């Protein structure tokens, strides 16, 4: 396994993904070349069916590419076994889903503890302290003993963020995190993600909403499985100023 000095956190080269249904191939991603460094806040944006979620699933080790290369922390991820991928998921990445995916009728504490059950780094005795720290980070300390179904949508998504934080992962993937929330709750969730980015977390946001994507410093646009643009805030600002001048 080759390891490069000062390699990007995520690097894909000529990455393709197709789904197969009884020998019928449905190509989803074409020739994706991407570099994301540690500490970035990236939004992957595109309309429904563009392949943005598939890309996130591959980058988050929930799925594997059909072709091409995907290096994580400078290390090739090809030929990793299912258990090795599970280990990377437990230690290096975490997810915030559109539909929260909390365990029903289960307390906030137990929901946030869940990733630690599969995480080798934390002793059972230290779990509660870690969990409470994550719950505090999303401002839900006073709701820690509530059951997940006793919380509002915004609160549930904050619990999901706490769950994503608790293992102190390298990357947090957020798949349409505001999709099921009203605008106020959505704004609050985005503020939390922004704060986490400012604290040094790498955040990869998948969304189809421009306003949500605008929170990110870099926006990668996907259309029909191709990357069509990859802009930083600075580039976007220049572009909009040029537009105004015209």
State the residues that interact with another protein by CB under 8 A. 57, 60, 62-63, 82-83, 86-87, 89-91, 94-95, 97, 101, 103, 105-106, 114-115, 117-119, 124, 163, 167
The minimum distance between CB 91 and another protein, in angstroms, equals 7
Three-point CA angle 141, 123, 145, nearest 5°: 25
Return the number of the residue (43 or 164) whose C-beta is nearest another protein.
164
Q: Are 29 and 68 a contacting pair, CB within 8 Å?
A: no
- Quick count: other Cβ atoms within 10 Å of Cβ 213? 20
The minimum distance between CB 44 and another protein, in angstroms, equals 16
Return the number of the residue (82 or 244) whose C-beta is nearest another protein.
82
Phi first, then psi: give them for residue 45, nearest 5 degrees: -120, 145
The minimum distance between CB 54 and another protein, in angstroms, equals 9
DSSP assignments along 76-129, one per residue: E-TT--HHHHHHHHHHTEEEE-TT--PPTT-BHHHHHHHHHHT-TTS-HHHHHH
The minimum distance between CB 99 and another protein, in angstroms, equals 9
Return the number of the residue (9 or 116) whose C-beta is nearest another protein.
116
The minimum distance between CB 119 and another protein, in angstroms, equals 6
Return the number of the residue (137 or 166) whose C-beta is nearest another protein.
166
The pairing of strands 202-207 and 171-175 is parallel
Return the number of the residue (19 or 234) whose C-beta is nearest another protein.
19
């Amino acid at each position: 396994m080759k390891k490069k000095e000062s390699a990007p956190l995520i690097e894909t080269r000529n990455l393709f993904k197709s789904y197969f249904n009884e020998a019928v191939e449905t190509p989803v991603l074409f020739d994706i070349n991407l570099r994301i460094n540690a500490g970035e806040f990236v939004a992957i944006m595109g309309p429904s069916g563009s392949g943005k979620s598939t890309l996130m699933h591959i980058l988050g080790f929930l799925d594997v590419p059909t072709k091409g290369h995907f290096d994580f922390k400078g290390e090739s991820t090809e030929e990793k076994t299912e258990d090795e991928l599970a280990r990377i998921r437990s230690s290096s990445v975490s997810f915030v889903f559109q539909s929260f995916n909390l365990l029903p009728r289960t307390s906030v504490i137990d929901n946030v503890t869940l990733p630690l059950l599969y995480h080798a780094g934390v002793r059972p005795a230290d779990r509660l302290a870690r969990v409470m720290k994550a719950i505090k980070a999303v401002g839900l300390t006073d709701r820690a003993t509530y059951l997940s179904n006793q919380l509002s949508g915004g609160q549930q998504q904050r619990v999901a963020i706490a769950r994503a934080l608790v293992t102190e992962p390298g990357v947090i993937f957020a798949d349409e995190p505001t999709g099921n929330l009203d605008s106020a709750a959505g704004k609050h969730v985005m503020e939390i993600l922004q704060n986490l980015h400012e604290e040094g977390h790498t955040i990869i946001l998948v969304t189809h909403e421009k306003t949500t994507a605008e929170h990110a410093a870099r926006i990668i646009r996907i259309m029909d499985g191709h990357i069509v643009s990859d802009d930083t805030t600075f580039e976007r600002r220049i572009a909009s100023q040029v537009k105004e001048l015209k």
